[in-house]
Structure 1
Amino acid sequence: MIEAAMIWNEPNNKSHWDPELDPEWALFAEHVIRAGEAIRSVNPDLPRVLGGMSPIDPHWLRRMEAHGALDAVDVVAVHGFPLDWNLWPLSAWPDKIAEIKAVTDKPVWVTEVGVSSFGAEEVQVFGLQRTAELLKGRAERIFWYSLFDLPQSWGAETRHREAEGSSYYRHFYLGLIREDGTPKPALDVYADHAADVGLMQWFHFHDPRLDEAVAWMKRLGTRRIRTGLSWADSFRPGAIEWFDRQMEALADFDVTVTFCFTPEHLGLAPHHTSPARDPQQFADFCAWMVDRYASAQPRAELAASCAPLGFVPRAPELTPLDFNRDERLAAERSAA
């Protein structure tokens, strides 16, 4: 089901990784290295994607290279929203891609790009059409963010929320379909590019929009989807049932799945943006998900290849808590 595995989301954006806890991104690099090795051991052919940069920053990418993180990935990714947040014009997209290609020989994917309809829906129509013209042929993968508007009651993942003013509220208007389920004018424009431009859609835990999203994407002719499987959510009751339902619903698409969000009890700080106290536990999660949804090896061979890395691949009938997590949590509680 999985076409590619992305390691984290926007790690150079403080809304998704805490730079006060990891100012040099050395801990993040360790997460990438361990996760990349774990994914490779489960499925050597599955492309590993470095979480999309936001902002697009060649200096940050060089820092990742210096830490050795680029040796553990096959693709680097960028995110851009020039009509809403970035301090560069829409027409600069080719230059932004070129900046990254100048410092790495790895493929560059655009795993999030979007335009909100906050000011006017006509702006989104123009932005989608022009973005497709600028990026098609320059990036092997392009994912438009997103299919659905973010419901107002859910809240956006930013640090300062309403204090950000219109920058915060733009998060809620990036979909091609309004919160009430009606399509925006840009939806027809997207349909013209659906064969070449995928969709990026986060699905919240037990997201009621999942089946509706699949129906819309099939109707539009979308071929590729990017979404996420949350490490933090894996500790919720019923997590594996939800993960299975989500991935089964997306089985007809080529899926780039993003692994991210630190469980509060496993972070240096109790927040999903925190580095894990033990990065190997994040690697374990990535290996478990790839084993479950994109394994390339029989389980006997998989167990032997995984043993040197220090994790045990999970069998399909087991839940997240069945693999040493009870013991780990008990040890953490005792240490506390």
Structure 2
Amino acid sequence: MIEAVKFWNEPNNKSHWDPQIDPEWRIYGQMVKLAAQAVKAENPGILRVLGGISPIDPSFINRMQSYGALDDLNAVAVHGFPLDWNLWSIHEWPNKIAEIEAVTNLPVWATEVGISSFGAEEVQEFGLQRTAELLMGRVPRAHWYSLYDLPQAWEATTRHREAEGSSYYRHFHMGLLREDGTPKLALKHFSDYTPEFGICQWFHFEDHRLDQAIDWLRKLGVKHLRTGLSWADWLRPNADVWFDHVMKKLEEFDLTVTFCFTPESKGIQPHHTSPPQNIEEFADFCVTMMRRYA
């Protein structure tokens, strides 16, 4: 069921990797290199992808190449949200892909692309259609973020939270479905682009939306699904039961699975964005997940 694995999520975004601890991303590069080698040795048929970068930055790819972090990878990935957080036009998507293609021979995947309905659902509706027009056939994989809105009672994975103003609140309006599961305007168009166009949907530990999400993915004709398996969650009580449940439920989809989030007890600092004290332990987690689910 696992088509590809990704090593971390948005490593050049300080909401996901702490640049104060690892300002040159040397630890990250070494960690990816080691984890990619371990996953390749365990199951060479699974595609290995660099954690999707946000912002889209060719210099970061060059840096990873200089560390040898791309040597055992099959693709690199980018994330883009031009109507919400990025300082470029939605129409520039082909140019942003080309910027990365210019510095690597690896295929470029777009594993998180999205438009919020924060200002108006009509904006998201337009954004979905235009994004699909620009990326389908241009990249091997494109995953829309996301199926569901983030519940208001949860926190968005970002460092500065409410201090970001409207940028923070946009995190809660990225879904094709509202928090209560009712459709937005853009939803009626999504099946026009499947199965080529995929979806990225993160499932929190013991997420109550799992079964309903699967029903919607089937209705929409989704084949390619991106989700995550959290290293931090793996250390929770009964984590194996939840992980097994999720992966069994998702076995009908071609999965791109992101391995990320440092357990507090394993980080240089006790935070999920911290580089681990021992990068070998992250590689071990990746291999454990491969043996269990790939």
Q: Distance in 2 between matches of 1:10 and 1:45?
A: 24
Which residue of the partner structure matches residue 333 of structure 1? none
Deviations 1:22-41 (A, max 9, x none): 00000001110111011001
Letter in 2 for 1:145: Y
Letter in 2 for 1:187: L
Q: Does 1:228 align with 2:228?
A: yes
Q: Does 1:176 align with 2:185?
A: no
Alignment of 1:44-83 (within 5 A): 44-83=44-83
Work out whether residues 226 and 255 of structure 1, in 8 Å CA contact, stay in contact via their aligned partners in 2.
yes
Displacement of 1:72: 2.6
Displacement of 1:168: 0.2
Alignment of 1:97-246 (within 5 A): 97-246=97-246
Which residue of the partner structure matches residue 13 of structure 2? 13
Give SS of 2:155's match: coil
Which residue of the partner structure matches residue 3 of structure 2? 3
Give SS of 2:256's match: strand
Letter in 1 for 2:111: T
Q: Distance in 2 between matches of 1:55 and 1:15?
A: 12
Q: Distance in 1 between matches of 2:4 and 2:97?
A: 20
Deviations 1:291-327 (A, max 9, x none): 1111xxxxxxxxxxxxxxxxxxxxxxxxxxxxxxxxx
Give aligned-pair identity as a percent.
64
Q: Distance in 1 between matches of 2:216 and 2:7?
A: 27
Structure 1: 4+ residue segments shifted above 2 A = none
Give SS of 2:133's match: helix
Letter in 2 for 1:293: Y
Which residue of the partner structure matches residue 280 of structure 1? 280
Displacement of 1:190: 0.9
Letter in 1 for 2:99: E
Letter in 1 for 2:246: Q
Which residue of the partner structure matches residue 265 of structure 1? 265
Give SS of 1:79's match: strand
Q: Distance in 2 between matches of 1:73 and 1:175?
A: 30
Q: Distance in 2 between matches of 1:45 and 1:138?
A: 24
Which residue of the partner structure matches residue 309 of structure 1? none
Give SS of 1:86's match: coil
What is the number of residues matched between the two proteins? 294
Displacement of 1:249: 0.6
Give SS of 2:269's match: coil
Work out whether residues 32 and 72 of structure 1, in 8 Å CA contact, stay in contact via their aligned partners in 2.
no
Q: Distance in 2 between matches of 1:71 and 1:63?
A: 13
* Structure 1 spans left out of the alignment, 5+ residues: 295-336
Letter in 2 for 1:66: S
Letter in 2 for 1:53: I
RMSD between aligned residues = 0.5
Q: Distance in 2 between matches of 1:194 and 1:243?
A: 27
Displacement of 1:243: 0.5
Which residue of the partner structure matches residue 301 of structure 1? none
Instruction: Determine which structure has more spread, i.e. the larger CA radius of gyration.
Output: 1
Letter in 2 for 1:199: I
Give SS of 1:72's match: coil
Displacement of 1:20: 0.3
Deviations 1:267-306 (A, max 9, x none): 0000000000000000000000011111xxxxxxxxxxxx
TM-score by length of 1: 0.87
Which residue of the partner structure matches residue 290 of structure 1? 290
Letter in 2 for 1:270: P
Q: Identify, as 1 or 2, the structure richer in helix.
A: 1
Letter in 2 for 1:174: M
